[in-house]
Chains A and B, each alone.
Chain A
Amino acid sequence: MNLKEFIRIAFHSLSANKLRTALSLLGIIIGVASVITMVAIGTGAQEQVTGQIGAMGSNLITVSPGFSRGGGGRISQDIADVFTLEMAEAIKNASPNIKHVVPTSETSGLAVYRGNNVRVRISGVTPEYQEVINHYPLVGRYVREQDVANSEKVTVLGSEVASELFGPENPVGQSIRVVIGDRSYSLRVIGVMESKGQVMMANYDNRIYVPITMLIKRGLKTRYVDGYSIEAASRDVAKSVVQEVEVFMTRMLGDADRFRVMSQDTILETVSQATGTLTLLLGAIASIALLVGGIGIMNIMLVTVSERTREIGIRKAIGAKRKHILMQFLLEAVLLSGLGGILGLGTGWAGGYWLSRGLGWPFSVSPVAVVIAIGFSVCIGLFFGIYPASKAASLDPVVALRYE
């Protein structure tokens, strides 16, 4: 059979009723566009998050408390009071591939300078911490060994905190008050950090850094820290370091449930899994729109078939076979949905681009999504076209001819 000829015929009848064609195209366009946009947003989010993790250094390993199992009415919660300052040194012996082990602790508080105040996260750190997370002071200096040894009341401000408290003034050398719980401390500013921005849900610019000893001993009145950040010698050894640390700490603490060791790569995996699920979910929701578009096509095709009963009768009377009529109407449906798919791709592309720019995310449309969207819409045309087309094809020529 002459396929080219039949495609021409299908185009012909689609262009004979432009408004109707446009309206049924619209359904598919919206469906495909929303699939493309949603998937673009999902993958954009994924790239955004994974890109940030990569920027943090993928040889970073964190040790955090395990949870006590919930059950018997108890709520699952982090096990506290496990990690001490001194253990950091010990953990270093777990593997020769460890560069640094730094204890970390965090709390939130209020920073006050003259009339200004701002809510901040307070990170207790040691000098190595700047290397571990790749974040250095822009002016002044970082926390030093001596500050840690003496629990000095000094602080390095995140860039946002500095500008909110001091404006254009140089904070270095000034004193700020920091309120932790119901106590208040006067801290001397020794430096301001470079801006790092939002990294994985955490904002590093609205923090202040203090010697870890100052935070836990003076501020939190405890011997324990939240956990440790470990810098592995390279990304390649990070995985084996995780295992070595796990083995080492299990021996040290006698219980593997009291801590968790995670490399950036495992976090990366978890996060991509989560965002992958998100993408899938968004795509699935958008597919419903596509499905509705398909039903729209079926509706239009059914109307078309009954409207063109006489035409079908004439075609059959002069020798069209079942397959010719089937082909004609199926091609119409597929052309309609395919065309809608292509236009929807363009629209979705534009929409996704515009949205990701608004959100400040990287924009990407994966070729897979494109192929799936177009392929899916063509299949929708086939699926929803087959019933009307076979209805047309099985019309009795005499009945069709007598049809008014």
Chain B
Amino acid sequence: MNNSSKVFIADGIDKVYAMGDVKVNALRDISFSIQTGEYVAIMGPSGSGKSTLMHIMGCLDRPTSGSLYLRGKDIGSLSDGELAEIRNTEIGFVFQNFNLLPNMSILENVELPLLYAGMPARERRTRATWALEVVGLADRLRHKPNEISGGQKQRVSIARAMVNQPAILLADEPTGNLDTATGKEIMALFDELNAKGNTIILVTHERDVAEHATRIIYILDGRIEHFEFRIQDEEEHVPVWEVVEA
């Protein structure tokens, strides 16, 4: 197997939450791989373990057993500091509820990853302004998060995720708190970023949203239930999804 073109390889990941005597098996024996530049959607009912998986891929958490390789590195063997560095430079994370810091201006929010990367102030400003221009918010730099709409907040969140130019963008229900029209705008942004070569993995409940991806991973009860691949049907110009059992 040629691993160099794979961003992620999940190899039998289990995640168990122990709550007193009760053990919750949030993920069981998850295995898959994701290519550089792929556009993947993860679907599944509530409580199936989508966020848990995203957190592990986002290097926010480690698997209980099994391994997740990020470009060949087993993240389970990395220190907290190394994981923080990966979160800072290699992965951008977009949350359903935006997770912006309320006391800071939009510009400062977007600058934050660069601050932790140790970039000087002037350069930070330029880069953050650029990222906000990309998401179409160049005119709202001084506003606080509570002064803008939900769609705009998600744009800020995306700008923050991509400001350090990571190759991988993870989004956990990025349109979950937005209306359909706004959700479409956000998805257009992701499509654009994927077209530029970014690997994008997103979690969603909505079929429409998931169909922006080229592959859907369907999770049920912590297990991968099936994959769906988009096959371009040249004649009918509508995507056809081929189901492959796990």
Contact = CB atoms under 8 A, between A and B. Distances in A.
Interface string A302-338: 0000000011011111111110100000000000000
Given A13-B103, A314-B99, A401-B99, A321 B116 contact: yes
B121 interface: yes
B66 to A, nearest CB: 17
A5 B87 contact: no
A76 interface: no
Contacts of B95: 401
A2 interface: yes
B17 to A, nearest CB: 10
Label chain A's interface by main secondary structure.
Answer: helix
Contacts of A313: 99
B88 A318 contact: yes
A160 B89 CA distance: 86
Interface stretch (B55-63, B69-77, B133-141): B55-63
Given A12-B103, A398-B60, A398-B61, A319 B121 contact: no
A27 to B, nearest CB: 24
Contact of A317 (B80, B87, B121): B87
A319 B84 CA distance: 5
Q: How large is the interface on B (under 10, 10 to 19, 20 to 34, 35 or more residues)?
A: 20 to 34
Nearest to B80: A322
Interface centre among B55, B84, B95 (most CB of A within 10 A): B84
Contact of B81 (A1, A310, A321): A321
A317 B103 contact: no
B117 interface: yes
Contacts of B58: 317
Contacts of A311: 101
Interface centre among B61, B100, B164 (most CB of A within 10 A): B61
Contacts of A5: 115, 121
Given A319-B87, A321-B84, A398-B61, 14 more contacts: A2-B115, A2-B118, A2-B120, A311-B101, A315-B116, A316-B84, A316-B87, A317-B87, A318-B87, A318-B113, A319-B117, A322-B80, A322-B84, A398-B60
A397 interface: yes
Contact of B84 (A12, A320, A396): A320
Nearest to B111: A5
21 contacts: A2-B118, A5-B121, A16-B103, A314-B99, A315-B101, A315-B112, A317-B99, A318-B88, A318-B116, A318-B160, A319-B113, A320-B84, A320-B116, A321-B80, A321-B81, A322-B84, A397-B87, A398-B55, A398-B61, A401-B55, A401-B60
A398 B93 CA distance: 13
By Cβ-Cβ distance, the 8 closest A-B pairs, closest first, are A319-B88, A319-B116, A398-B61, A321-B84, A318-B113, A397-B60, A314-B99, A16-B103
A318 B112 contact: yes
Contacts of B246: none
B106 to A, nearest CB: 14
A149 B208 CA distance: 126
A12 B80 contact: no
A347 B204 CA distance: 59
Nearest to A394: B80
B147 interface: no
A394 to B, nearest CB: 9
Interface string B78-110: 001100110111000101000111011000000
Contacts, number: 67
Interface residues of A, number: 23
Interface centre among B58, B89, B115, B161 (most CB of A within 10 A): B115
Contacts of A318: 87-88, 93, 112-113, 116, 160-161
Contacts of B88: 318-319
B68 to A, nearest CB: 14
A401 B103 CA distance: 17
Contact of A319 (B85, B101, B120): B85
Given A5-B121, A398-B60, A12 B85 contact: no
A229 B116 CA distance: 77
Contacts of A13: 103
A401 B87 CA distance: 14
A63 B160 CA distance: 85
Contacts of A319: 84-85, 87-89, 113, 116-117, 164
Interface string A1-43: 1100100000011001000000000000000000000000000
Interface in B20-66: 55, 58, 60-61
A149 B95 CA distance: 107
Nearest to B116: A319
A398 B80 CA distance: 12
Nearest to A324: B116
A156 B121 CA distance: 83
Contacts of B55: 398, 401
Nearest to A314: B99
Given A12-B104, A322-B80, A317 B112 contact: no
A396 B100 CA distance: 18
Interface in A85-141: none
Nearest to A6: B115
Nearest to B92: A318
Contacts of B121: 2, 5
A11 to B, nearest CB: 11
A324 B115 CA distance: 10
Contacts of B99: 310, 313-314, 317, 401
